[in-house]
Amino acid sequence: MVRISVKDLTKTFGKVVACNDVTLEIEDGLLFTLLGPSGCGKTTLLRMIAGFERPDSGVIYFDGRDVTHLPPNKRDTGMVFQNYALWPHMKVFDNVAYGLRVRKLSKEDVGVRVTEALRLVHLEGLEERTPFQLSGGQQQRVALARALVIRPKVLLLDEPLSNLDAKLRLEMRFEIMRIQRELGITTVYVTHDQEESLSISDGVAIMREGVVQQVGTPKEIYTHPTNTFVADFVGQCNFLPGTVEEVGRHVVVKTDAGAELKVAYHDGLNVGQRVLCTVRPENLFLEEPREEHNVLECKIANVVFLGSSARIYASFGDRRVIAEVDSSVELKSGESVKLYSLPSHMSILPFSESS
């Protein structure tokens, strides 16, 4: 297990700044996700950790050892690429064995370790098949086995599930979690899928335009986003602009729609300050809570059936509000509805005209 430290890492391609002064600490043994939209720099950062890209400035440490200028084969990492990068003319056994043969291990050792790796990814009995004879999920497992068979200290995965269908993605997501937990290997995982990141990660770094926006556990990222980009990118979020009227046990905000909202105490706010009140769709209720609550009087624009839940799209003043409610409740477009939220479920972010 290796602790990865990235210090002030910058990488440009022409006029494009792919990574801008990135600093990260990834503790040993964690499954750590780099999450963000396409073009945010997450794959470039992963490739610099792997050694496939050289940073313009900054340093990368593995357990305090400077590996910034070491080639990939000297870093003791295993890489799983987005397109799997399997040798099409080689059988499964030979694909997995490739790295061991390059390292000139004996035939007996190669056989033992390939068998172990295929057992780990549940591919026993498929040694003689070619990649063309495998499903997408099986090809993904071969790529994972090939990365693990060399017993790396760090496992790097670049959008490994993007080519799989939804059901298989879910299955492989938890297979990767199982293997990572079983081996205890430090793992850096790149994805643009928010649900995927939140469900498997010990730690997450949210990136945008080459800059790390927030680092934390999935729960910290989701419940306490530090800015509107993170709040909006990770799940859905309602943004209600307003002005601080009172700061005390609760912060009282008068929204632009006229309603007063109470928010759990937030340090550093002043009366008269413009802010955004935020609340997640699942924290808006149709039933009036027993404890102190906020009320949003809305008009329903649309209701979408999602199976166990229904998604309400409603207007609150000039703002659109989204709520996730029980699908058994009968609601229609055009109806007026009261949505309730607890002060503890609301947060305050700096005001932004774009939100």
* Of the candidates 140, 93, 94, the residue with the CA atom closest to the CA atom of residue 121: 140
The answer on 38 and 160 residing in a single domain is yes
In a domain, 336, yes or no: yes
The answer on 309 and 221 residing in a single domain is no
Q: Which residues, at least 6 apart from 13, have a Cβ–Cβ distance to it below 8 Å?
A: none
The answer on 266 and 135 residing in a single domain is no
The answer on 214 and 164 residing in a single domain is yes
- Which residues in 68-94 are b (16+ Cβ under 10 Å) and which e? beeeeeebebbbbeeebebeeeebbbb
According to DSSP, the β-strands at 31-35 and 203-208 are: parallel
Q: Which residue segment(s) compose the domain that 269 sits in?
A: 236-350
User: Where residue 294 sits, what CATH number does that domain have?
Assistant: 2.40.50.140
The answer on 109 and 10 residing in a single domain is yes
The pTM score is 0.89
CA distances (Å), origin 111, targets 80, 146, 314, 351? 21, 13, 61, 61
The answer on 153 and 35 residing in a single domain is yes
In a domain, 355, yes or no: no
In a domain, 93, yes or no: yes
User: Where residue 193 sits, what CATH number does that domain have?
Assistant: 3.40.50.300
The residue type at 165: D
The answer on 201 and 162 residing in a single domain is yes
Interval 246-302: pLDDT, tens: 998 899 999 999 999 999 877 789 999 999 999 999 999 998 888 889 999 999 999
In a domain, 275, yes or no: yes
CA distances (Å), origin 269, targets 73, 107, 253? 52, 68, 11
What CA–CA distance (Å, rounded) separates 132 from 15? 40
Task: Give the torsion sign (CA, 284, 286, 292, 297).
Answer: positive
In a domain, 293, yes or no: yes
- Number of domains into which the chain is organized: 2
The answer on 221 and 121 residing in a single domain is yes
Render each residue's pLDDT in the chain as its tens digit; 355 residues. Answer: 799 999 999 999 999 999 999 999 999 999 999 999 999 999 999 999 999 999 999 999 999 999 999 999 899 999 998 888 899 999 999 999 999 998 999 999 999 999 999 999 999 999 999 999 998 889 989 999 999 999 999 999 999 888 888 888 888 898 899 999 999 999 999 999 999 999 999 999 999 999 999 999 999 999 999 999 999 999 899 999 999 999 988 999 999 999 999 998 777 899 999 999 999 999 999 988 888 899 999 999 999 998 889 999 999 999 999 999 988 888 889 999 999 999 999 999 988 777 6
Could you tell me which residues are beta bridge partners of residue 6?
24, 60
Boundary of a domain, candidates 232, 250, 270: 232
In a domain, 9, yes or no: yes
Boundary of a domain, candidates 232, 255, 290: 232
The answer on 146 and 129 residing in a single domain is yes
Interval 184-232: pLDDT, tens: 999 999 999 999 999 999 999 999 999 999 999 999 999 999 999 999 9
The answer on 86 and 18 residing in a single domain is yes
* Of the candidates 70, 74, 9, 78, the residue with the CA atom closest to the CA atom of residue 44: 9
In a domain, 335, yes or no: yes
In a domain, 290, yes or no: yes
Q: Which residues, at least 6 apart from 336, have a Cβ–Cβ distance to it below 8 Å?
A: 297, 298, 299, 300
Boundary of a domain, candidates 169, 204, 232: 232
The answer on 225 and 88 residing in a single domain is yes
Q: Taking CA 76 as the corner, what is the angle to CA 71 and CA 82, rounded to the nearest 5 degrees?
A: 80
The answer on 223 and 171 residing in a single domain is yes
